[in-house]
A and B are shown apart, each in its own frame.
Chain A
């Protein structure tokens, strides 16, 4: 009901359709084509049907085993960083100044990590966390804690998680801040008059009003973390062992390292479907929250 009727708009959208067709649909079809074949190089392909898919989803095979391991690592990683970044982002947003020159200063500082390219982030942390020359790594070791992210899987995980939190918490905080700013003062005044505690104000006013931006934040952070590649690749290269080999890293190893195009194609399709399915879940949740809201709005 909010959309003006304008048929000319379809013409404006047409180039996007073309670009999407070339950039998404055609490559995907190529991948689908690879996924049902096997190759021994020299551009020779053999029909393999759904063989790769069966292997992929069967944990007892070599391919299936490493796929599920990597998938498990991805889910764990996303869960950990969401569990840290969302509460931390909310906390940061709540403690940000509300007016005056401090707002601008805070916003600039908060936005800084977001402006750094992924591979640079990886490089920064790779150096920073090194036990020999990195300030962070050296300092931790100087405290008497044995810390070496290239050798110890736990140290590698902690480093990657800390790196991601450093890089992306700002985004969650900024989104939450925008949500908080949209709450009229009258709500806070009413809550004070009602004698609400700080915690009650948070749960009854701030959290419900932030619900929508939080959903967006969770969606963005989930998708991004689920597809993480550059930073761990630069930092650990997937190691030590396979400790930080996420799906995307494994995919590149299979496709470019071993040149198993069929396996890699099948894997990327399944990976893609998982991302799509999870996005769909988020999308449904979000639009559900949206329609609930629209019903309250004034239709006239």
Chain B
């Protein structure tokens, strides 16, 4: 059991990094508290796997330190760190039974035979693997194999953290739900630090209490799922989280009004301190943009309506800029023009991609 501290960590794969462009992982400072559920979320090549490998000890960082509690483990090899890892593709020892697989890490650590047997039974019942304990691991389904990988980590009582590297990639959708909720239940029951790396926002948001969003080797935002959803600190976060992602529209802001093309949008906050000459954008999530009959709200053009079963999503254009909005159940449209209403509290303004806080009502901006 431990908290994990990343202290000024940075990594470049080339030996003589010159500029920031050479760093696969730019400087990161972070504390993962003991018992937390964390997700590292980002697209391929954003550095999340590099960071995971640094934590597990497969990569030694170019700069900075990594601490497990107060112990500096930066230079320690994988086997000397108390971590376990579940990989993208199930790793099981083919020639062994499930029981032998689960016992393997304990056997390697020379634990007494009876203690091993007891611990294996205990973990197997937690994972629902009792019925297959004596079967060859290689003949099981992908989700059972992932449970075995996880089980090999859980049997060790000294494990400080469990790392997951896109563990649900090869799992069918309906089994993903089961595996994910059993993971959550395990996390609650065992009080382990869990770090989950994925490109899938749903997996990250549903699993983690705190999500770390990465882009281009840097952390762009760390927060709870609600924070990431309601106040994306960066347009990248807005785009990457949410399906469809946040609408980001080029805008001109004057006081409490934003102009997107020739459409004026009322704002809830004032923005006096916007940088001059910067790229100003307005961001609003489709969930807070509702389509209405023509004449209500802002005038928009509807290009397509998608039915995703539990909701309908309209693809629209606001002054020629593509966006998405929700279609209420009872709305039916003729032709391609419609109205759009936005929740003003959920409209954000970004300067060069970064969220500008704005001044709340009552403290009028200097316009």
Q: A: which residues have CB within 8 A of B?
A: 184, 186-187, 189-190, 192-197, 200, 204-205, 208-209, 295-296
Contact = CB atoms under 8 A, between A and B. Distances in A.
Contacts of A209: 94
Interface of B: 56, 58, 77-79, 83-85, 87-89, 91, 93-96, 104-105, 108-109, 138-139, 149, 152-153
A204 B93 contact: yes
Nearest to B139: A296
28 contacts: A184-B89, A184-B91, A186-B87, A189-B56, A189-B58, A189-B78, A189-B85, A190-B152, A192-B77, A193-B56, A193-B78, A193-B105, A193-B153, A194-B108, A195-B105, A195-B108, A195-B109, A196-B104, A197-B108, A200-B108, A204-B93, A204-B95, A204-B96, A208-B93, A208-B94, A208-B95, A296-B138, A296-B139
Given A192-B79, A295-B139, 19 more contacts: A186-B89, A186-B91, A189-B87, A190-B85, A190-B87, A190-B152, A193-B56, A193-B78, A193-B85, A194-B108, A195-B109, A200-B108, A204-B95, A204-B96, A204-B104, A208-B93, A208-B94, A209-B94, A296-B138
Contacts of A189: 56, 58, 78, 85, 87
Nearest to A298: B142
Nearest to A209: B94
B105 to A, nearest CB: 4
Query: 5 nearest interchain CB pairs?
Result: A195-B108, A194-B105, A186-B87, A190-B91, A192-B78
Nearest to B153: A193
A196 B78 contact: no
A202 B297 CA distance: 69
A296 B142 CA distance: 11
Question: Which of A192, A208, A209 has the largest number of chain B CB atoms within 10 A?
Answer: A192
Nearest to B86: A190
Contacts of B138: 296
Contacts of A205: 93
Contacts of B91: 184, 186-187, 190
Looking at chain A's contact residues, is the secondary structure mostly helix, strand, loop, or mixed? helix
Contacts of A190: 85, 87, 91, 149, 152
A184 B58 CA distance: 15
A295 B56 CA distance: 34
Nearest to A187: B91
Contacts of A186: 87-89, 91
Nearest to A203: B95
Contact of B79 (A195, A208, A296): A195
A247 B229 CA distance: 80
Contacts of A184: 89, 91
A186 B96 CA distance: 17
B144 to A, nearest CB: 12
Nearest to B163: A193
A193 B91 CA distance: 12
A190 B79 CA distance: 10
A186 B78 CA distance: 13
A291 to B, nearest CB: 13
Contacts of B85: 189-190, 193
A193 B94 contact: no
A139 B149 CA distance: 56
Nearest to A192: B78
A122 to B, nearest CB: 41
Nearest to B138: A296
Nearest to B57: A192
Contacts of B78: 189, 192-193
Nearest to A184: B89
A193 B84 contact: yes
Contact of B83 (A187, A193, A204): A193
Contacts of B89: 184, 186
Nearest to B95: A208
A205 B104 CA distance: 12
B88 A196 contact: no
A182 to B, nearest CB: 13
Contacts of B79: 192-193, 195
Nearest to B90: A186
Nearest to B85: A193
Nearest to B93: A204
B42 to A, nearest CB: 20
Contacts of A295: 139
Nearest to B100: A204
Contacts of A204: 93, 95-96, 104
B254 to A, nearest CB: 55
B108 A196 contact: yes
A295 B85 CA distance: 28
